Structure 1
Amino acid sequence: MSEASAPHAADRRELTAAQRNAVAELLRVSPVADELGRRFVRAGHELHLVGGSVRDALLGRLGDDLDFCTDAHPDETLRILKGWAESIWETGREFGTIGAQRDGLRLEITTFRAESYDQVTRNPVVVYGTNLTEDLKRRDFTINAMAVSLPEHRFTDPHGGLDDLSAKVIRTPAAPRESFGDDPLRMLRAARFAAQLRFAVHPDVHAAMSRMAADLDRITAERIRDEFTKLLCGADPITGLRLLVDTGLAERFLPELTGLKLEIDEHAQHKDVYEHTLTVVENAVSYEEDGCDFVLRMAALMHDVGKPATKAVGPDGRVSFHHHEVVGARLTKARMKALRYPKDLTAKVTGLVALHLRFYGYGRGEWTDSAVRRYVADAGDLLPQLHKLTRSDCTTRNRRKAAQLGADYDALEDRIARIAAEEDLARVRPDLDGNAIMELLGVPPGPVVGRAWKHLKEQRLEHGPLDRDAAEAELLRWARAEGILG
Structure 2
Amino acid sequence: MPDPLDIVDPADETSGTADRLARARIRAASMFRALPEEIHDLGRRFEAAGYELALVGGPVRDAVLGRSSADLDFTTSARPEETETILRQWTHDGAIWDMGREFGTLGGVRDGVKVEITTYRTESYDSTSRKPQVAYGETLEGDLSRRDFTVNAMAVRIPSLELVDPFDGLADLARTVLRTPVGPEQSFTDDPLRMMRAVRFVSQLGLRIEDSTADAIEALAERITIVSAERVREELVKLMLGAHPRGGLELLVELGLAAHVLPELPALSLEIDEHHHHKDVYQHTLTVLDQAIDLESPAGSGGPCEAPDLVLRLAALFHDIGKPATRRFEPGGVVTFRFHETVGAKMTTKRMKALTFDKDTTKKVARLVELHLRFHGYADAPWTDSAVRRYVTDAGDLLQHLHRLTRADVTTRNRRKSKALARAYDELEARIDELAEQEEIDRIRPDLDGNRIMEVLEISPGREVGEAYKHLLELRMEHGPLGEDRAIAELRTWWEARQRG
TM-score tier after normalising by the smaller chain length: over 0.9
Given the alignment of the two structures, is residue 31 of structure 1 paired with residue 37 of structure 2, yes or no?
yes
TM value normalised by structure 1 = 0.96
Aligned to 1:332: 348
Aligned to 1:294: 310
Aligned to 1:143: 151
Q: Which amino acid aligns with 1:19?
A: R
Give the drift of 1:97: 1.5
Aligned to 2:493: 477
Give the drift of 1:264: 4.8
Contact 1:264/1:273 (<8 A) preserved: no
Give the drift of 1:424: 1.3
Give the drift of 1:92: 3.0
Aligned to 2:400: 384
Range 104-113 or range 423-432, more displaced: 104-113
Q: Which amino acid aligns with 1:435?
A: N
Contact 1:67/1:108 (<8 A) preserved: yes
Give the drift of 1:117: 1.4
User: Match of 1:69, SS?
Assistant: strand
Work out the CA distance in 2 between the residues paired with 1:338 and 1:191.
20
Q: Which amino acid aligns with 1:390?
A: T
Contact 1:6/1:167 (<8 A) preserved: no
Aligned to 1:209: 217
Matches within 5 A, 1:217-256: 217-256=225-264
Give the drift of 1:155: 1.2
Cα deviation digits, residues 367-426 of structure 1 (max 9, x gap): 100010000001011001111111111111111111111111111110000010100111
Aligned to 2:451: 435
Contact 1:276/1:395 (<8 A) preserved: yes
Q: Which amino acid aligns with 1:60?
A: G
Quick one: which of 50, 67, 73 aligns to 1:61? 67
Given the alignment of the two structures, is residue 447 of structure 1 paired with residue 463 of structure 2, yes or no?
yes
Work out the CA distance in 2 between the residues paired with 1:346 and 1:6.
49
Contact 2:32/2:161 (<8 A) preserved: no
Contact 1:352/1:386 (<8 A) preserved: yes
Work out the CA distance in 1 between the residues paired with 2:14 and 2:277.
40
Work out the CA distance in 2 between the residues paired with 1:461 and 1:344.
26
Contact 1:194/1:239 (<8 A) preserved: yes
User: Match of 2:352, SS?
Assistant: helix
Range 373-382 or range 77-86, more displaced: 77-86
Give the drift of 1:192: 0.4
User: Match of 2:114, SS?
Assistant: strand
Given the alignment of the two structures, is residue 272 of structure 1 paired with residue 280 of structure 2, yes or no?
yes
- Structure 1: tracts of 5 or more residues without a match: none
Work out the CA distance in 2 between the residues paired with 1:224 and 1:202.
22
Work out the CA distance in 1 between the residues paired with 2:400 and 2:13.
44
Quick one: which of 367, 383, 392 aligns to 1:351? 367
Distance 1:277 1:137, change over 3 A: same
Cα deviation digits, residues 317-353 of structure 1 (max 9, x gap): 1111111010000000011101111101111111111
Give the drift of 1:57: 0.6
Give the drift of 1:271: 4.2
Work out the CA distance in 2 between the residues paired with 1:402 and 1:393.
10
Quick one: which of 21, 33, 54 aligns to 2:27? 21
Given the alignment of the two structures, is residue 462 of structure 1 paired with residue 468 of structure 2, yes or no?
no
User: Match of 2:34, SS?
Assistant: helix
Give the drift of 1:18: 2.0
Matches within 5 A, 1:72-83: 72-83=78-89
Sequence identity (%): 54
Aligned to 1:8: 14
Quick one: which of 406, 409, 414 aligns to 1:398? 414
Q: Which amino acid aligns with 1:398?
A: N
Work out the CA distance in 2 between the residues paired with 1:462 and 1:6.
73
Aligned to 2:183: 175
Quick one: which of 199, 202, 205 aligns to 2:207? 199
Given the alignment of the two structures, is residue 104 of structure 1 paired with residue 112 of structure 2, yes or no?
yes
TM value normalised by structure 2 = 0.93
Range 136-145 or range 364-373, more displaced: 364-373
- RMSD over aligned Cα, in angstroms? 1.9
Give the drift of 1:427: 0.9
Range 428-437 or range 326-335, more displaced: 428-437
Range 207-216 or range 451-460, more displaced: 451-460
Work out the CA distance in 2 between the residues paired with 1:348 and 1:106.
35
Work out the CA distance in 2 between the residues paired with 1:91 and 1:264.
53
Work out the CA distance in 1 between the residues paired with 2:116 and 2:129.
25
Give the drift of 1:270: 7.6
Contact 2:51/2:76 (<8 A) preserved: yes
Give the drift of 1:24: 2.0
User: Match of 1:78, SS?
Assistant: helix
- Structure 2: tracts of 5 or more residues without a match: 1-9, 300-306
Work out the CA distance in 2 between the residues paired with 1:103 and 1:46.
23
Quick one: which of 386, 405, 413 aligns to 1:370? 386
Equivalences, count? 481
User: Match of 1:367, SS?
Assistant: coil
